[in-house]
Amino acid sequence: MRFLRSSIILFLIYIALKINLCVPSVPSSLKTLAIAGHFDFKQVHHAAKDFGNRYSFLPLAVLHPKSVSDIATTVKHIWHKGPGSRLTVAARGHGHSLQGQAQAHQGVVINMESLKSPKMKVHTGNFPYVDVSGGELWINILHETLKHGLSPKSWTDYLHLTVGGTLSNAGISGQAFRYGPQISNVHQLEVVTGKGEVVNCSEKQNSDLFYSVLGGLGQFGIITRARILLEPAPKMVKLIRVLYEDFSTFSRDQERLISVKNTFDYIEGFVIINRTGLLNNWRSSFNPKDPVRASQFKSDGRILFCLELAKYFNPEKMAEVNQEVMSSLSQLSHIPSTLFQSEVPYIEFLDRVHISEIKLRSKGLWEVPHPWLNLLIPRSKIHSFSQQVFGNIITNTSNGPILIYPVNKSKWNNRTSAVLPEEDVFYLVAFLTSALPSSKGSDGIDHILSQNRRILESCEKGGFGAKQYLPHYSTKGEWRSHFGPQWEAFFQRKSTYDPLGILAPGQRIFQKATAFSL
């Protein structure tokens, strides 16, 4: 019996030692670093949560940097610890990731919103731009640039995101057909690589790193500063919505609009299932009269499609803009009785999702699971996709907005890390679903995830050539398939700028150090 007790004690000691060896002694090493900001080793739970509300990975520490040097010092410290260290680093902006991409299990999360250096500075002139911190929110950039009568060219639909976060993906919205995504409107970056090096890069200076980081999913470096291109800002927006019964007509009109000049400044499409996309669309807004008219429209249970258009203008040009809008609308084949129009200030239009966010938060419906699925579908396959998905998979109800609109590939720089379909025009299709945590029905997380899998399987079986936007995969094979011909270039860039696999642990494309093999 004594021997048995001794064996058990020895075994427990062995297990404890193994656990201790696997957990890095972070506090003792990080506390020695000379930084202007500070580490928090206790209040870290907020960094184990994101907008997706599906994953929770607790870090050992959260860095609140005051300068770029703080970030570089931390990453370099971990780099010098070598491959034996299990420490990883995740840059967290506004926490809008969907599947734990901005989290670091037993690692270090960098609170990028603490980084206020350099101070935002707007440069006017013939080629205006703004220099901003990678942790700055786009809504703050909008407010500051508007003081100079300027604004960025390309946006996302939600502006309460950080610059570094959107540039690490692409940044797509209804302006992308004309100006491309946000990664096509950046002139220069400052990046902290996985070795802790601070590098300035642009199209002409350290261009390989510049294009690697843009759309690079955080794999090659942390964006600490960006130079964003600007243009003169309008004061007002004329917002138009029209409905379609037929997808072919709907898509044909969208494709015509993005192919001609002097048309609308913003073009997005929505799928309407049992009118949920029309009346409960938290990404749009109607004027007080429109919901009444919309509710009177009888869809008879059909799936409809909504085309949302915006024309920017200044008040003194209103008559001219109205004429241009009516001329453009006359060429569309929408349902004549479903024309909804409103005029709103430019800033109100761009920040409209935040208004809906405030309402949803007041009802406790914002911080719920968001099992979103974002796809890029080649133009030649979009009709087959529509028939398969909206005809067979999503038929009765929608748990959130479904976006579907085309963009021109020519507006994207093919040197970036973003992965796109192999056609000149492709569609963004975004299923922006919300789940009720306790529900077991169609609005529950299990049902929605099952639905997402069916959509992906349909794309695979149909040979649609779809690519995921904001991708997340669990196996190396899936990542290789996602990147396709770009895989080897992606691998080479990773081995150059983050050879130990320190960065972006929540988006695990490569394993640390020893697993770098093709």
Q: What is the DSSP string of 82-138?
A: -TT----EEEESSS--SSSTT--TTSEEEEGGG---SPPEEE-SSS-EEEEETT-BH
C-alpha closest to that of 470 among 191, 226, 168: 168
Distances (CA, A) of 64 to 84, 96, 113, 223, 463: 25, 18, 8, 15, 46
Confirm whether 79 is domain-assigned: no
The catalytic residues are 96, 157, 268
Give pLDDT, residue 292.
43
Confirm whether 151 is domain-assigned: yes
Confirm whether 290 is domain-assigned: yes
Exposure b/e, 33-62, CB count within 10 A at least 16 = b: eebebebbeeebeebbbbbbbebebebbbb
CATH at residue 215 = 3.30.465.10
Of the three residues 216, 232, 248, the one that is the final residue of a domain is 232
Of the three residues 212, 232, 252, the one that is the final residue of a domain is 232
Hunting for tokens 């409103």 — which residue is that? 342
Give pLDDT, residue 286.
45
Do 393 and 462 fall within a single domain? yes
Confirm whether 3 is domain-assigned: no
Give pLDDT, residue 25.
54
Do 171 and 286 fall within a single domain? no
Report pTM. 0.90
Do 412 and 430 fall within a single domain? yes
Task: Show the tokens assigned to 507.
Answer: 């988006």
Q: To the nearest 5 percent, what fractions of the chain are helix, strand and coil?
A: 35, 20, 40
Give pLDDT, residue 84.
84
Do 254 and 221 fall within a single domain? no
Give pLDDT, residue 394.
87
Give pLDDT, residue 293.
52
Check if the beta carbon of residue 376 is closer than 8 Å to that of residue 426: yes
Check if the beta carbon of residue 423 is closer than 8 Å to that of residue 380: yes
Task: Show the tokens assigned to 109.
Answer: 């999360």
Confirm whether 188 is domain-assigned: yes
Do 329 and 187 fall within a single domain? no
Do 143 and 284 fall within a single domain? no
Of the three residues 232, 252, 281, the one that is the final residue of a domain is 232
Give pLDDT, residue 26.
56
Sequence letter at residue 58: L
Do 325 and 406 fall within a single domain? yes
Locate the DSSP E strands across 126-285. 129-133, 150-152, 186-193, 198-202, 221-232, 236-244, 266-273
CATH at residue 348 = 3.40.462.10
C-alpha closest to that of 449 among 54, 57, 95: 54
Do 215 and 159 fall within a single domain? yes
Do 242 and 294 fall within a single domain? yes
Do 307 and 429 fall within a single domain? yes
Give pLDDT, residue 3.
46
C-alpha closest to that of 268 among 239, 297, 245: 239
Confirm whether 115 is domain-assigned: no
Task: Show the tokens assigned to 15.
Answer: 């297990």
Name the residue range of residue 394's domain: 236-468
Which residue ranges of the chain lie beneath pLDDT 50? Answer: 2-24, 276-282, 285-289, 291-292, 514-518
Confirm whether 139 is domain-assigned: yes
In total, how many domains does the chain have? 2
Give pLDDT, residue 510.
81
Do 264 and 351 fall within a single domain? yes
Residue 261 DSSP SS3: coil
Confirm whether 56 is domain-assigned: no
Burial class of residue 490 (count of CB atoms within 10 Å of its CB; 0-12, 13-18, 19+): buried
Do 330 and 461 fall within a single domain? yes
DSSP letter, residue 326: H
Sequence letter at residue 133: S
